[in-house]
Chains A and B, each alone.
Chain A
Amino acid sequence: MNCEKCQDLVSDFLDGALSHEDQKTLNSHLEECLDCADVRNDLQSIVGFCRSNRGVYVAPPNEKALWLRIRNVIEAGASPGMLATAPERENVERRNFWTNWVGRSWELSFPQLVAAAAAIVLVVSLSTVVGLRRWQSGETVKNNNAAGAANLSVAAENVRSRISQQQQLIDYWNQRVEFNKARWNPQMRETFDRNLKVIDQAVNDSLDSLSQNPHDEVSEEMLNAALNEKLSLLKEFAEL
């Protein structure tokens, strides 16, 4: 066996993959050739060192930072409902309803457009009727005598009492909303504020009407509807 052939077999020898016969030939060459014996010894120490150090691991330069990078990438690529714990997922689903509702692009079919137009006509007609009744009521109020004024104050008191009851509930839910508000994202906060502003406007309009005519049933109805709407909104957002 020459040195080249011997050195080619050294690796197989170290891995125990040499046939009995080859091993015998190799051993006899190694006993005679110091150079090849050196190669065998050197490779043995390299392989031995690696084997003895198997399972020794080094840490990344900054394990925490690496984890944060991984998490950020995963979260950026995952759908919002896919991650986080079960309660968090429920919140995300609720938030999705509002963000989807606010952010969606409205595409209406022809029947939907007709229905929307009909709804607008209905609202305008109703507003006209309300306006006329308000005007008539105003006229009536002007013509009322002192006895009529007393009736008005009783009616106004009834309205105030009902508002006060509703207001207590509203205050309670408002507190809960304020408590959770800090956790909301800006888009959600904006949605809530916008909805609340519209409802408050409706409440104030109804109150104005009722202050002029406490017997105005339509305004009273509208006030009740607006207050109920406000309560629903607060309850909905208090859960988020």
Chain B
Amino acid sequence: MTATEIETQHETDYALAQKAAQGDMGAFEQLYQRHNRRVYSLCLRMTSNVSEAEDLAQEVFIQLFRKIGSFRGESAFTTWLHRLTVNQVLMHFRKRGVKMEQTTDDGETPIQIVKGTENPNAMPVVDRIALDKAIGQLPPGYRTVFTLHDIEGHEHEEIARMLGCSVGTSKSQLHKARMKLRGLLRQQKANE
């Protein structure tokens, strides 16, 4: 996508957002058509649960409608919507009492490869199905950081702000999530 295309898309989203803020459901439906997959995918990756992701996507768009008047077009609409979605999912985790893993000294034991137990050739070629399955098995805290960093492309500083943790914690959780994923993918291969 070229810069002009991005700009056009941004302007169009902004124009639709302004109309939607006036109560124009047609404009809001267009925004839904344009962004529902992005929102749903993020919810799905963060929860690894189809029905939960669908409910969350629904809640995101309801919140979007309520807050759309506050979108001033200072950032890209997608960025704004992305943040809204992440916040919604994190709020859902907090309500549900999901434990966000802490990487303190007495926290979870880092995943180590015990020498002699691993098969160097056992790591499967990464494919979407296998990876999605493995991500689904990650503890929610790891999954959140992994999704935000490696899939969505956020920086650790942003993730730390979103999650209310330190940059070091974000980095540490990401590393543990990657190592855990490696183990899970290997396990999948071994079970085949």
Contact residues on A (Cβ < 8 Å of other chain), bracket:
35 or more
A49 in complex: contacting residue of B40, B58, B115, B126, CB < 8 Å: B126
Residue B50, interface by CB 8 Å: yes
Instruction: Classify the secondary structure of A's interface with B.
Output: helix
Evaluate whether A60 and B54 lie within 8 angstroms (CB atoms) in the complex, with A49-B131, A85-B24 already known.
yes
Contact residues on B (Cβ < 8 Å of other chain), bracket:
35 or more
B25 in complex: contacting residue of A10, A53, A69, A84, CB < 8 Å: A84
Instruction: Classify the secondary structure of B's interface with A.
Output: helix
Write out, one digit per residue, whether chain A residues 34-46 have a CB within 8 A of any chain B CB (1) or not (0): 1100110111011
Write out, one digit per residue, whether chain B residues 26-66 have a CB within 8 A of any chain A CB (1) or not (0): 10110011001110110010000010011001100110010
Q: Which residues from B are CB-within-8-Å of A45?
A: 123, 125-126
User: From residue 155 to 192 of chain B, which have CB atoms closer than 8 A to chain A?
Assistant: 171, 174-175, 178-179, 181-182, 185-186
Write out, one digit per residue, whether chain A residues 55-89 have a CB within 8 A of any chain B CB (1) or not (0): 01111110100110111011001100011110001
What are 19 inter-chain pairs, A to B, with CB distance below 8 A?
A12-B171, A17-B171, A35-B118, A42-B186, A45-B125, A46-B178, A47-B178, A57-B37, A57-B40, A58-B40, A58-B44, A60-B57, A61-B54, A63-B37, A70-B65, A77-B62, A78-B23, A84-B23, A84-B25
Supply 13 further A-B pairs (C-beta < 8 A) apart from A8-B175, A57-B38, A66-B58: A4-B112, A38-B120, A39-B113, A42-B182, A43-B179, A46-B178, A49-B131, A50-B150, A54-B152, A57-B41, A71-B25, A71-B29, A84-B23
Q: B-contacting residues of A (Cβ < 8 Å)?
A: 3-4, 7-8, 10-12, 17, 34-35, 38-39, 41-43, 45-51, 53-54, 56-61, 63, 66-67, 69-71, 73-74, 77-78, 82-85, 89
